[in-house]
Structure 1
Amino acid sequence: MGEASRNKFVVMVTGAAGNLGGAVVAEFLDTGAKVAAVERHLLDQDRRASWQKGEILDLEGIDLTDLSACQDAVRRTLDAFGRLDALVNTVGGFQTGPVEEQGLDQWDHMFQMNARTAYAISAAALKPMQDTGYGRIVHIAAAPGLKAGASQAAYAASKSAVIRLTEAIAAENRDRRITANCILPGTIDTPQNRAAMPNAKTDAWVQPADIAKLIGFLVSPAGGIVTGAAIPAMGRV
């Protein structure tokens, strides 16, 4: 954000229709930021209505595996708001399966959903940040990206790629006042996770709004001291 006032701050949030992405959009709108909400599918009307309190640009139908689509989303953001100060990338997918011949498709799919999307949108967003000499990038990775468990080869490797990508961006852009960090959430408290794990103890699950506040810190002026980090956000203790 640098010397810019908070109400001029522009953040792009990918996966805006998701539980975490929606919480991130709400967090930034609450602070007076302008938000470019990127989503591959149509945004839910109820969620869209809840965002009417702030300046928001709906960017629907954006395939983040496609570099040209990412570049178009950045261009439309610049056309609407004149700048791009931060990228928060919440897009990703989760699948598990053992290492076997039939698992190669899953390997490719996880790298498309997690690693390629993170690379493409980062590459597109970095250009205007480098031009202005300021920027913040936050990705969502996962703890298996540090150490895989059984049946996690594809997922863990793709999330490890996100962590390594983040580290490289941080190292390459440190002198440009651009930071890059990623968050490793625990189980996020969402309706989908509750339905999938009806007997789980949810007390320590991570609230999307709490992750959004952590992201808010990372893109703030105070957050400029943190770059190249993989930050655990594993829930309340």
Structure 2
Amino acid sequence: MSGTAVITGAAGALGQAVVAEFRHRGWQVVAVDRPGPALDGVAGDEGVHAVPAELSSRDEVQRAWEEVDRIGPTDALVALAGGFRPGSLADLTEEVWEELWQSNTTSVLWCCQAAAARMADAGGGTIVTVGSKTAVGGKAPVAHAVSKAAVVRMSELLADELRPRGIRVNCVLPSVIDTPANRSWMSADLAARAVAPAAIAAVIAFLAGPDSAPVSGARVPVYGDS
């Protein structure tokens, strides 16, 4: 597969794995994340272009896609950018609620809007979003689970709306991902069951590629036993 994939949250642990997987499959990658050394490090690889942006702002997203346009057409969007904050209902503050809604939900909406407009003009494309296992069931911090549940429903709605324009939208549902940050707090049992970022990246790349052409509007669990 060749083309240009825009990957948001590219500087994170999962983002780096997704960038590597797409490059392995021959895609040109536009890595989008907050500016900083982590993004600069990802962009040091051949075929990877960095575009720094604050994705909760619609104006910033539109500006970022103007940079993307100069690199190549948006054939695929992988909307990974997001955040997590633990805490109970009693601990929840307006700041945490707003932070997670903006990072997990609003950022996906504006990126899908920018990408879909370009894909529609070009005759089609693919979008993969990231929800969460807790978005569809189980115990979880309310702000994180609700913001991710909105991503899942948004993905289903966009799949229906954009299908006539040749754009497929699917959502993956991870749980605990085996990253250095998560290893710092996981028990040995949970660490043994956590899913490697590379395994999730392979599923995302499949959903963005031609072999998944019949699939749109799917919620794809990628949580294994975690």
Please classify the TM superposition score into its range, dividing by the shorter chain length.
Answer: over 0.9
Aligned to 1:233: 222
User: 1:223 aligned to 191, 206, 212, which one?
Assistant: 212
* 2:19 is the alignment partner of 1:29: no
Aligned to 2:147: 158
User: 1:206 aligned to 192, 195, 215, which one?
Assistant: 195
Q: For 2:182 and 2:89, how far apart are their aligned partners in 1?
A: 25
Q: How does 1:2-13 map to 2 (within 5 A)?
A: 6-7=1-2, 9-13=3-7
Aligned to 1:70: 61
Q: How does 1:1-237 map to 2 (within 5 A)?
A: 6-7=1-2, 9-44=3-38, 46-49=41-44, 51-52=45-46, 55-60=47-52, 62-81=53-72, 83-100=73-90, 102-149=92-139, 152-235=141-224
Percent identity of the aligned residues?
35
From the superposition, tell whether residues 146 and 101 of structure 1 become closer, same or farther in structure 2 (CA, over 3 Å): same
- Which structure 2 segments of 5+ residues have no match? none
Shift of 1:66: 0.7
- Aligned-pair Cα RMSD in Å: 1.8
**Does the CA-based 8 Å contact 2:21-2:202 persist in structure 1?**
yes
From the superposition, tell whether residues 218 and 40 of structure 1 become closer, same or farther in structure 2 (CA, over 3 Å): same
- Which structure 1 segments of 5+ residues have no match? 1-5
One-letter amino acid matched to 2:166: R
Q: Under a length normalisation based on structure 1, what TM-score does the superposition of the two structures give? A: 0.88
Count residues in correspondence. 225
Aligned to 1:3: none
Shift of 1:15: 0.8
Q: Under a length normalisation based on structure 2, what TM-score does the superposition of the two structures give? A: 0.92
Q: For 2:37 and 2:166, how far apart are their aligned partners in 1?
A: 33
